[in-house]
Amino acid sequence: MTITQGEQPPSGPAAGPSRGRRSLLAGPRSDRRRDNRSSAMLVSGLLALALGFTALSLPVPYVVESPGPTFNTLGTENGTPVISVTGHETFPAKGNLDLTTVYVDGGPNGPVTVVEAFSAWLSGAKAVYPEELIFPTGVTKEQSQQESAVAMTSSQENAVASALRELGIPFEQKMQIAAVPEGSASAGKVLENDVLVSINGKAATALGVIQSELAAGNGAPVEVVVDRDGSSVTANITPSKTAAGRFILGVMLQYKFKFPFDVKISLDKVGGPSAGMMFALGIVDTVTPGDLTGGKHVAGTGTITPDGAIGPIGGISQKMHGARSGGATLFLAPAANCEDVVGHIPDGLQVVRVENLAEARKAVELAASGADTSALPVCSSN
């Protein structure tokens, strides 16, 4: 009976294998569902990753400023002296009077990605700004480069004028009308290329003279005399008032100079007006005996006017870092940039605040003498 029951199971075991086959078939169907879910999750993850990378590579409306290279105004660039003078005796100079530069990415110079902007924001040597703060809306790369080149040319001419004035070397300086916008206070009264002779009887050879006379008149009509192709023309102009409360003639002016000798500045691929002060110091050192720097490594930045006033520039934090990386130990900064200087000075760099070329020259000469420079004016948070 035991055996029978033991042998009985032919029908039972048959059912057993049948149930077993169903069980075996059920197992692979569950694995395939898991595989499908895993594949879907993998594809979704890859898509999310791809979208993430795509988002990170998308351009953002920001501009990144980074430290650029420095150029020694007393040295050479591509085998050519940065400053060359003909018609006047020159003197070899040692040391460095470095002009500083900034790389600008974004805007018309090409897109900046989220990653690049965030990385720059984390860097102490870079700065990130909204695009509209740096570039006018719609400006093209070509327009930006042209404007930068014009500013560089103007800064070089102003540098020569300020250097010669600092050295007491006479030269001819005039103010020429570059453009007369339609509808301005001067439209129909003066013309493009007219040379200003006087305003209310005062020689109009500098922008400061014109601004002072307009301010003193408080909006009253002024008598302007211009030279037009050799003929004297007099015009009575009622200045207009800007939103800032200043009175203007409503013309675009440019300086025209006639120097007693030629100064050529050779520096490719660098634009803008901020090298004016360092060009002026380089010219002073080139045409005077001795060594202005005493072999020291000096760098700086700042616009300059023909009368030697030093004006503010952009990217000064990046320029200080670039100067220090280039080996400078003394940096000349425009007084108007002091707010951006404080808290951003790299280790090993002494920053001196200057307002005009005479102060900048004095600072360099003091450093060259080996004397204590700690008494020189500095930027403060007060």
pLDDT of residue 33: 55
353 touches 158 (CB < 8 A): no
> Per-residue pLDDT tens for 105-128?
988 888 888 888 888 888 888 988
Q: What is the mean pLDDT of residues 182-198?
A: 96
- Assess whether pLDDT exceeds 90 at residue 35: no
Identify the weakest region by mean pLDDT among 116-120, 162-166, 183-187, 340-344. Answer: 116-120
pLDDT of residue 44: 60
Q: Read off the tokens for 108.
A: 């018309």
Q: Read off the tokens for 181.
A: 């916008």
pLDDT of residue 356: 98
pLDDT of residue 144: 83
Residue among 128, 108, 69, 126 at smallest CA distance from 267: 69
pLDDT of residue 108: 87
- Assess whether pLDDT exceeds 80 at residue 53: no
- Assess whether pLDDT exceeds 90 at residue 97: yes
* Segments in the chain forming alpha helices (H): 2-7, 11-57, 114-122, 131-134, 141-167, 207-217, 276-287, 316-325, 338-341, 357-369
Which residues share a beta bridge with 231? 228
Confidence class of residue 147 from pLDDT cuts 50, 70 and 90? confident
**Higher confidence at residue 39 or residue 167?**
167
Q: What is the mean pLDDT of the chain?
A: 86
Looking at the chain, the whole-number percentage of residues with pLDDT higher than 70 is 85
Say if residue 65 is exposed, middle or buried (CB neighbours under 10 Å; 0-12, 13-18, 19+).
buried
Q: What is the mean pLDDT of residues 258-266?
A: 96
Cα 354 from Cα 341, distance rounded (Å): 12
Confidence class of residue 314 from pLDDT cuts 50, 70 and 90? very high
Confidence class of residue 45 from pLDDT cuts 50, 70 and 90? low
- Assess whether pLDDT exceeds 60 at residue 7: no
pLDDT of residue 38: 59
221 touches 284 (CB < 8 A): no
- Assess whether pLDDT exceeds 70 at residue 345: yes
Residues 6 or more apart in contact with residue 283 via CB below 8 angstroms: 83, 85, 159, 160, 163, 164, 263
> Per-residue pLDDT tens for 268-307?
878 889 999 999 999 999 999 999 999 999 999 999 999 9
Range among 40-44, 130-134, 343-347 rated most confident: 343-347
**Higher confidence at residue 55 or residue 44?**
44
> Per-residue pLDDT tens for 9-33?
444 444 344 444 333 334 454 555 5
pLDDT of residue 13: 41
pLDDT of residue 295: 92
248 touches 185 (CB < 8 A): yes
Sheet strands side by side (includes 62-72) = 127-130, 62-72, 96-105, 297-300, 330-334, 350-354
Backbone angles phi, psi at 174, to 5 degrees: -135, 160
Backbone angles phi, psi at 287, to 5 degrees: -100, 5
Residue 68 in 3-state DSSP? strand
